[in-house]
Chain A
Amino acid sequence: MLLISCPWCGPREETEFHYGGQAHVAYPANPLELDDATWAEYLFVRDNTKGPYAERWVHSAGCRRWFNVVRDTVTSEILAVYRTGEQRPVTA
């Protein structure tokens, strides 16, 4: 079980959180102007990274805030935690 540092509440057990998939996938500004392939890319296609991966979590059983995590998908080691809207930090 992961120990996740919520940027608002500090380190908490994984069971307090929900996973939110890949981070930095913005809702397109004008969906109605996109062709089918581009929209399908937004809807259905996500990276499947082996190694450091920026992903979203929400502290459902705590402050209910969404935030971003860089986690190594091989080791599950959490390399960085940062707030929504912030740039992905450089991690080793």
Chain B
Amino acid sequence: MSEFTSESSAPSAASAPTGQPNRLPTGGRIDRSVTLRATVDGVELTGHPGDTVASALIANGRLEVAPSIYRRRPRGIVAAGVEEPNALLQLAGGRPGDSAEPMLPATVVELFDGLSAETLSGVGRLDPGTDEARHDKKFVHTDVLVVGAGPAGLAAALAASAGGARVLLVDEQPELGGQLLAERNPALADWVAGAAAELAARPEVRVLRRSTAFSVAANYVLVAERRTDHLGAAAPAEVSRQRLWHVRAKRIVLAAGAHERPMVFADNDRPGIMLAGAVRTYLNRYGVLPGRRAVLLTTNDSAYDTALDLRAAGAEVAALVDTRPEPPAELVERVGAAGIEVIAGAVVTGTGARDGAGRIGRVRLDNGRELGCDLLASSGGWNPVVHLFSQARGTLRWEDERAAFVPAAQLDALRVVGAANGTADLAACLAEGADAGVEAAAGSGYPGARPELPAVPVRHPAPDRPVWLVPGEGEPGGWRDHFVDLQRDATVADVWRATGAGMRSVEHIKRYTTIGTGQDQGRTSGVVANGVIAAALGLASPGELGTTTFRAPYTPVSFALMAGRNRGELHDPVRTTAVHPWHVAAGAEFENVGQWKRPWYYPRDGEDLHAAVLRECRAARTGVGMMDATTLGKIDIRGRDAGEFLNRIYTNAFAKLKVGSARYGVMCKADGMVFDDGVTIRLAEDHFYLTTTTGNAAAVLDWLEEWSQTEWPELDVTFTSVTEQWVTIAVVGPQSRAVVSAVAPELACSAEEFPFMTVRDAVLSNGVPARIARVSFSGELAYEINVASWHGLSTWETVFAAGQPYGITPYGTETMHVLRAEKGFPIVGQDTDGTVTPEDLGMSWIVSTRKDFVGRRSLARPDTVRTDRKHLVGLLPVDPGALLPEGVQLVAEGVPITPEVGPVPMLGHVTSSYHSAALERTFALALIKNGRHRIGETVLAPLGDRTIAATVTEPVFYDKEGARRDG
């Protein structure tokens, strides 16, 4: 049960006259003991708990809302539910910090004390402020989900829950009952109350009111529950505003009801033209009188009840116009007894205004009669609410007798019942619901039982006689006041223009005319448009056209609800290393690498990125630098066949790698394109420690698992991610040996005793055991110190202290990128893009020809053996101070770059570009077609306002001989 009801809102006590001229003296499901005050369009009004904004407006004598979107025609309230096309609100936030909500139908917004809103002309405004309201998510499993708590849904929920099945009943209204809330028969109200009490008493039943099931896919349903929207300022601060329920149900019963259709005739959009069923709801549920003298217009039986209820409420009924030449005699007799004239076989052809505000004043019939009125209550038939059924892939068929699309066949685990199934008679709706509930319980493994149903007479509704288009004057192409979609101001003339342009499909015509694309998604206009299109195309039935596709959400859902708590710092996890607090204290600027926060550079007083990076690079090349390399992916690999496995994954050989040694490796996907690279250490015969690029750690682990599990299950090898378990500190530069010697006093650090690409275990001066590798991503003498993450910060501090005599300089990712680029080391994902082979990178030396590996066969495909593929090469801008923007396209010299002579052939693009302290100039890496055969050529980077010329070079700019790595 939803815990928060309008009864708990803080009312202003009042027993004084309400000042509501159209409030009926008695009746309605409102609490007259409490008066609520609200402001709509700057005018104050009063109402009662149980009112919507729309019913309160009507009670206060205001049917008119903002004018229409394009034509600025006067418009009024049409409906009493989510199908309302005209009365849309911009609703101010109910409590401080709540955003204003645009485009809410006044017919569903519950009145609360202090409510402030304005009516909209079809367009709302997003609140530019930050929405402070909280939204939550729930995930639940249930045996039976019942959508809709009208007669069929209540019967289904009672039947399904009778034997202990878990049942979830959701309904968009604040109280249960659906269409029964609009009935005058007290026995029905009693049954609803009894059903609600019974359901509340059953422990396995949960009822969600103010909750809309808006999306269905198989057995998975999303429900938006509005918890505090109706409470205004009285909403408890600790309760989230709305909740998104993710529901898994074994069985689903859809009892979503039906929406009434308007009719299309000249000037059918005036205030005072309403749906007949809505008029009945306003009379009986809200106790308000929308008009004093009504004309009814109908194609079916349902409007006769409205006529009788209007009379009972004291309104005059000028006539009931029925399109059927021979309406059921029993109905004619019943309304006749109430003094209501039935005009059979007739239709309204047009309307006239009563006053300057445009409110309806009279109607004209096709038999020439004119009738004065201030209300035209029309029923053009009923559309079953098949949205969720269709989302669940249920198919529809056209039912002539009801003139509507109805479910063609039930689905296995989802039943449609009641008015949603095209059933018009109340007794039949109740019975269908009860049967479906019993069946749903059985389908989920529980007994069900038919509940006691209210005694209502069985009626057999006579067939509809739809009139889709009432002719006006002249040709249909000129009928610009015959409205099809009130919210989009689309008319019969628009439909004719679309069909005249050759369109035949409702999907095309919908997009061309915009019919059905408003906030209401064509709830009142969709099938009406079908009827008009069928008339335009000369089709026998609107059913021949089919429907447009029903997509989620059924009614609008806010992004804030979708996001829930996953906003701000909870939007995405943030990963930091154990050394992070030190980086923050040192004033580092950070960059996001995947979810990691990595130090980008460490500016000193007044330094910008450029100055800081030049200083950091100089330190690493001439003294010593240190970098937090913890974010590299790390995978611990164990098993008898671990070496053989890596041999099959990497392009180069790993099976014979010596224990205690490290090797750089490249792995490809099966298509031969470079996927990842990194250094792998052999710790024991059956134990490896593999590193990946920072952004690819999870993907590489998945890749290894995939081959291990699906292709080579016979190999004994397992994988464990240890990225979080190790902190890695790179100590880089000519003075790094001195620093590492000081940090690891027991370790022999000479080039002979601790050669390049080997690994040593050592105990550091702070007592922490470490694994130290001699690897280099800069070309300089360098060490990577790995310690357990617990000791990461203290070890970083120890290294930093030990480096002080040498001026050790912490550096970030930008300096790392410059140092590696000076050496021509590519970064996978920056200098490659999934279309680059090892050969393209100039790394054929790493590709074994003596073994198979994943991707090898692809390196012999006709496309990969071409010698003019894009190659990774270096670029030196002719102007040594000019920096090429990364990503910029490159063209050959002499190529015209004008719109007239196009397209411009592109040679490739810049992948990395930096200022180099060591080179004292700018440089770049680029992927260029046939690049290795263009060394020495000039290419151009057109930048719009200027062009940078650059010379193609080898990709290694610094220490080509590799003389520096041993210090």
Residues of chain A at the chain B interface (Cβ within 8 Å): 1-3, 13, 18, 20, 26-27, 31-32, 34, 36, 39-40, 42-43, 56, 58, 60, 64-66, 75-77, 84-85
Contact = CB atoms under 8 A, between A and B. Distances in A.
Q: Indicate the size class of the contact surface on chain B.
A: 20 to 34
A68 B218 CA distance: 21
B706 A36 contact: no
Contacts of A77: 218
Contacts of A66: 705-706, 709-710
Contacts of B710: 56, 66, 84
Given A32-B856, A36-B862, A39-B858, 10 more contacts: A1-B246, A2-B218, A3-B220, A3-B248, A13-B139, A43-B858, A58-B706, A64-B702, A84-B713, A85-B713
B852 A32 contact: yes
Interface string B840-863: 000000000000100011101110
B158 to A, nearest CB: 28
A39 B861 contact: yes
A64 B246 CA distance: 24
A27 to B, nearest CB: 5
Nearest to B705: A64
Contacts of B856: 31-32
B709 A75 contact: no
Nearest to A39: B857
B217 interface: yes
Main secondary structure of the interface of B (DSSP, over half): mixed
A32 B220 contact: no
B26 interface: no
A56 B705 CA distance: 13
A72 B220 CA distance: 16
B393 A75 contact: yes
B220 A58 contact: no
18 contacts: A1-B217, A1-B220, A1-B246, A2-B218, A26-B711, A27-B670, A31-B852, A32-B857, A32-B860, A40-B861, A58-B702, A60-B702, A64-B702, A64-B705, A75-B218, A75-B393, A77-B218, A85-B713
Contacts, number: 54
B33 interface: no
Given A3-B220, A31-B856, A43-B670, A58 B861 contact: no
Contacts of A2: 218, 220
B671 interface: yes
Contacts of B713: 84-85
A27 B711 contact: yes
B219 interface: yes
A88 B711 CA distance: 17
A52 B671 CA distance: 28
A75 B710 CA distance: 27
A40 B220 CA distance: 39
Interface string B930-942: 0000000000000
A76 B393 CA distance: 11
B575 to A, nearest CB: 16
A47 B471 CA distance: 54
Interface string B858-877: 10111000000000000000
A13 B709 CA distance: 22
A31 B711 contact: no
Interface in B203-252: 217-220, 246, 248
A2 B220 CA distance: 8
A75 B393 CA distance: 8
Contacts of B393: 75
A20 B709 contact: no
A22 to B, nearest CB: 12
A15 to B, nearest CB: 10
Rank and list the top 10 A-B pairs by shortest CB-CB distance, nearest first: A31-B857, A66-B709, A27-B711, A66-B710, A39-B857, A1-B220, A84-B710, A64-B705, A43-B671, A32-B857
Most chain A CB neighbours (cut-off 10 Å) among B220, B711, B857:
B857
Contacts of A58: 702, 705-706
A7 B700 CA distance: 23
Contacts of B852: 31-32
B717 to A, nearest CB: 14
Contacts of B248: 3
Interface in B681-733: 701-702, 705-706, 709-711, 713
Interface in B499-514: none
A3 B711 contact: no
Nearest to B392: A75
Contacts of A18: 702
Nearest to A34: B857
Contact of A84 (B217, B218, B709, B862): B709
Interface in B772-798: none
Contacts of A13: 139
A17 to B, nearest CB: 11
Nearest to B139: A13
A4 to B, nearest CB: 12
A2 B417 CA distance: 25
B858 A3 contact: no
A90 B852 CA distance: 36
Contacts of A27: 670, 711
Interface string B354-384: 0000000000000000000000000000000
A58 B698 CA distance: 13
A32 to B, nearest CB: 6
Contacts of B219: 3
Contacts of B861: 36, 39-40
Contacts of B857: 31-32, 34, 39
A40 B857 CA distance: 10
A56 B328 CA distance: 61
A64 B857 CA distance: 28
